[in-house]
Every structure is written in structure tokens, then in C-alpha cells.
Amino acid sequence: MPETALIRAGFPLILLLGLLAGSGGCRDKEVSVYRIPKEPDAVAGGPSASPAAAPSPQARWTVPAGWKVEAASGMRLGSFRAIGAAGASADISVIAFPGTGGDDLANINRWRGQAGLPPIAAEALASQIGSLDAPAGKFVLADLSGTSPTDHSPIRLVGAWLRRPGRVWFFKMMGPAAVVDSQNGAFREFLNSVVITESAAGGPTAQPESGNGTANTNDLPADAGGLGPLPAGHPPMTNEASQTAAPSPLTWQAPSHWVKRAASGMRLGSFSAVGPDGASADISVIAFPGTGGDDLANINRWRGQVGLPPIAAEALASQTDNLETAAGKFVLADLSGTSPTDHSPIRLVGAWLRLPDRVWFFKMMGPAAVVGSENGAFREFLKTVAVTGTAVPSSPMPSGPVPTITAADETAAPSPLTWQAPSDWAKRAASSMRKGSFSLGADRSVDLAITVFPGDVGGTLANVNRWLGQVGLPPITESELDQLTVPLQSAGLTFTVVDTAAKDHSAPQRIVAGLLPWNGNTWFFKLSGATEKVEQQKPAFLQFLHTVRPTPSP
């Protein structure tokens, strides 16, 4: 008979959850049940970061025969090992994050980096994921083959994520390609065995056991706040010190020229630094319980975000530095790469600080020129960080209005607009980057994104060339701009409508977009997908632009 275990694990967190205690492996399939206690009511970081309202889920799954159950560690709720021929093994992990856990593109690019693959652009996402309808819900599936960063042997990563109310669950198997190949069927059976039930009771808790588990290959999200390298909204900044909640509260003083943004997702601090041409770098502060992964995992995660392959442990010393401050010793990273969308030079400067109960990540990422000019300011920012040693209010970071979308599709800061989408468009959750998000077409493969940035964001030509690059077309000159753009006027607003098909109708991917300069910002309404499917949706998109209106004053 299968053995059944009920394990409750938990300790107070800012954002994430406690862990389970593992049990020894056995030859029979093992049914395990895990309950995550309800989190504290006070969580810093804005509404999307507050999982307190979510019920406490209880997870149950059946471990395939032959898998060894290992002690959970780090952020794992489940940890297993599948042994193949000649003793080679694949690592299987289960973790959960509050909120949405990042969008699909961020998740797939994080795992691609772990498999030694470069990141992809949004247009290629559909070819990289699948789905599995299971009793627990619809899993998003990924199957990636790459090479080991240490011995360059073939490796494979098979993973899935499942979004449930209040959190997202990640299931992943990674190891030598031959072992993962042989266990792929068992992994799908494992997913089909998962049952998650919502429960209001948290009950008594127990500290997680420690064990000599294997390295955690399911490391932190590539961008825990769900943001790309460029910012969206820019609420007014104050010069007040920013603070986070107990148990290890920090304070910091941001440079006066950085623009403070509303914290969201798992962010405890969020800023942008705007360069002279309007391009911006994004600065984030997040925290995770425990050690937050080892230095090699952290540096390889960030390398993947700038399009660089992972490195082996022997090369780690050349990739990191240290900075001694009043708060402690920061580990520093400075990485230069290329954007996965337009292949422009980007740079990531980051640091992590380990405290007794958690690790803090400070990161600046964006166009190389902007990050280069802000590197000194970023280091000075780190030097202002201090551990207060006392609890602070649960929502101490004053910020501007948090962007929201109402039933009428109304966005908030920084320059409110409203719009009315057709009834057959599938509305998706907005994020810190997106003010509005929709999926179009019968197969929902055409994407509509609405974003806003300060200034002119480089001007029309720069944006047109960026979009041409995203669909694989060469840039144009200023004299050719009129061939790809037309004005569209509605309700006192003037859009510049761009269609990349005007450059080349044979390109497999197409972007139709509307640029709207308004109140010192530039709004982008971008339709993208397969050429013929975008063509089908273009009339409705243009009509949609006619519905955009400034929000009436109260």
C-alpha cells in the first residue's frame, strides 16, 4: 500500500512560503500531502504582492515508482531524484510562489538559461510551450534540450507550471538528457496525479527539516517582479527613505534623480533611471527567505537575462566582486549582453546581500549606455542600505497610484486613458509592465500589449526599427519612415500607426502598433503574431484605437 504523509511546514515570510520535510524513498509509489499555511496579512510591495487573502492550499501527489524522495530544502515543497543507467540521475523539484509567478515568457527564458540556451522573444513563445489538462488544472509545459555548463554534455529540462488562486506551482525535472528522456512519461504521470485543494485552516506549523539534498536546480525566478529591462509607469518620487517589513527590515536612500515607482509583484523597491535620450534602466529590490540560491545559480540566472550562456563554477570568481557596506558584504555582478528582442546592447549591474533569515537582491538593468552612466549611483545606493533591527509598518513605501484595470479597461497612473475592447478579445491580467493585455483570434495566438514610458522613448524611427528587428527585418532610414507609418486621429488624440508588413509582406511575423505621445509620455498599443493572423485582426485593432479616450476628471 502507498504510504501517506501529511506535513505542514511554515515560518513567517515577507513573500514566500515555508518548506516540507522529506521522507526516504521506497519502491512503491508514494502519496504525499502538503499544506501551506496562510501567510501574514501584512506584506510590503503593493496589492499584487499580498497573498494574505488567498486560501491555504493543500497539495497531494503520487510519486512514481523508482523515484527517490529526498529531504526538501531551500524553497522546495517536494524534492525527488530519478536514477538512470550508470548511476546518472535527474533532479525533480516542486516549488510555489505567491501571485502569478511571472509571465510565461519570463518562465521559459529562465529555464532556457538553465539549459544553456539564449532567451527568446515573445513572438517565439508559442513554439516553446505546450499544455496539459490534468485534475489540478491546465499546466503550461516546457521541454528544453541544451548542454551542461560544466562538461558540455547533453542535458534536458522538462517542466510545467500551474496557476492557482493566489500562487503558481512549478514542477521541474532536469538532468542528463538520457535520464530525462527515460523519465518523461513518469513525469507526466506525476503531474496528472497532482491534486490541490484550497483550505482555510492553517493549523499548527513545524519548522522544515534539513537534509543533505541535492542542489536546487529550480532557482529563483529570472525576474521575480515580472518586469522586463525597461520600466512602465513612473509615479512621483519622494526623497524619503524606503523601508521594508520585518523580520529583517532595511532602509535605503535612492538617488534624487531616480524615479520611484509603485512596488508590485515581489518587489519591495522599484525605481527607474532615465537617460538623456529617454531610454530607461530599471532598478528593483526583492527578498527571498533562506540563502536565495548559491552564487553560481544567481550569476547564471542573471547571465541568462542578458543573453549570455551559463558558466561553470571555475569561472565564478571572474564574474563577481564584493562591496563592504554598513549593512554587510554585497556580492556584485556586472554583465553585458544583448536584448533578446532587438539585439541592442544591454547591461545588468546587480548585488545580493545575505542576512540571517533571507537574501536581498538589488538589480539595475537596461540599455548599456544608461546603466553605464548610472553605475556609480547604483553603488552609492547600495552603500545607503542599512539594517534597522526593528519592525516597521507593513506598507511603509509611499508610492504613486498603482496601475489598475477596471471593468471598463481604465488604466491609472501616470497618464490615465480608457478604452473599450471587443467582446471576443480575451482579457489577460495586466502587469507592472503592461497597462492592458489581450489575446486575439480563435486560437488566442495574437498578442495585444499596452505599455507606457516617459518621454519620446527614442522617437518614432527608433521604435519602428526596434519592431522591424523583432520580426527579423532590417532597419530603415528616416526617409523611409512615411512608407511604414500613417496618422490616426480620434477624440483629440493623434496616433502614429506602424505596420511592419509594409516593409516585407513575406515575413512570417508581423507587428501593427500605435504610438501615442500624450502628457509627456509615450503610449504603445502593439499587436503582434503570425502575419496572416495579425492581418485578420488589424481592422478590429484600428477600431479599438478609436475607442481610446483620456479618463474624465472626477
Higher pLDDT, 338 or 46: 338
Q: Is 401 a residue whose pLDDT tops 70?
A: no
Residue 324, C-alpha cell as written in the block: 563592504
Asked, as a colleague might, if the bond just before 414 is cis with ω within 30 of 0, I would say yes
Check residue 86 and give left, alpha or beta (phi > 0: left; psi -120 to 50: alpha): left
Determine which helix (DSSP H) or strand (DSSP E) holds 61, and give its type and residue range. Answer: strand 56-63
Domain 4-199 has CATH 2.60.120.1690: yes
Q: Is 391 a residue whose pLDDT tops 50? A: no
What pairs with residue 403 in β-bridges?
none
- What the block records as the C-alpha cell of 371 is 546603466
Helix axes 295-305, 104-114, angle to 10 degrees: 120
- The vertex-290 CA angle with 285 and 291, nearest 5°, equals 75
Instruction: Report which of 410, 79, 342 is spatially closest to residue 215, judged by C-alpha positions.
Output: 79
What is the structure's pLDDT at 302?
A: 86
Share of the chain above pLDDT 70, in %: 70
Q: Cis check for the bond before 51: say yes or no (omega within 30 of 0).
A: no
Distance CA 195, CA 181 (A): 25
Q: How many angstroms separate the CA atoms of 59 and 309, rounded? A: 35
For 417-550, the fitting CATH number among 3.10.105.10, 3.40.1000.10, 1.25.40.10, 3.30.360.10 is 3.40.1000.10
Give me the architecture of the 242-387 domain, per CATH.
Sandwich (2.60)
- For the stretch 146-162, pLDDT in tens is 877 556 778 899 999 99
Residues 254, 285: Cα–Cα separation, whole Å = 11
C-alpha pair distances (Å), 254 with each of 28, 159, 367, 437: 56, 38, 20, 31
Q: Give this prediction's pTM.
A: 0.40
402: pLDDT strictly greater than 80: no
Three-state secondary structure readout of 81-129: EEECHHHCEEEEEEEEEECCCCCHHHHHHHHHHHCCCCCCCHHHHHHCE
Determine contact, residues 353/360, Cβ cutoff 8 Å.
yes
DSSP string spanning 480-511?
GHHHHEEEEEETTEEEEEEEGGGT-TT-SEEE
Please name the residues in contact with 430: beta carbons below 8 A apart, sequence gap of 6 or more.
Answer: 403, 404, 405, 411, 436, 437
Indicate the range of 341-345, 346-350, 406-410, 519-523 predicted with least confidence.
406-410
Phi, psi (rounded to 5 degrees) for 85:
-65, 150
Residues recorded for the chain:
554
Q: What is the largest CA-CA distance in the chain?
A: 76
Rounded CA-CA distance 296/395 in Å is 33
pLDDT in tens, 164-222: 887 888 999 998 889 999 999 999 999 999 998 765 433 322 222 323 333 333 333 33
Asked if the domains 4-199 and 242-387 are classified in one and the same CATH topology, the answer is yes
pLDDT for residue 291: 62
Confidence (pLDDT) at 317: 87
Q: Lay out the sheet containing 56-63: strands in order across.
A: 4-8, 30-35, 56-63, 195-199
Give the strand pairing for 549-550 and 417-418. antiparallel
C-alpha cell, 230: 525597461
Q: Give the residue from 422, 469, 456 showing the smallest Cα distance to 441.
A: 422
Please provide the average confidence, as pLDDT, over all residues in the chain: 73
- Asked if residues 169 and 54 have their Cβ atoms less than 8 Å apart, the reply is no
On the CB side of 405, CA atoms within 13 Å amount to 18
Q: Where are the domains of the chain?
A: 4-199, 242-387, 417-550
SS3 of residue 237 by DSSP: coil
Using an 8 Å Cβ cutoff, are 125 and 108 in contact?
yes
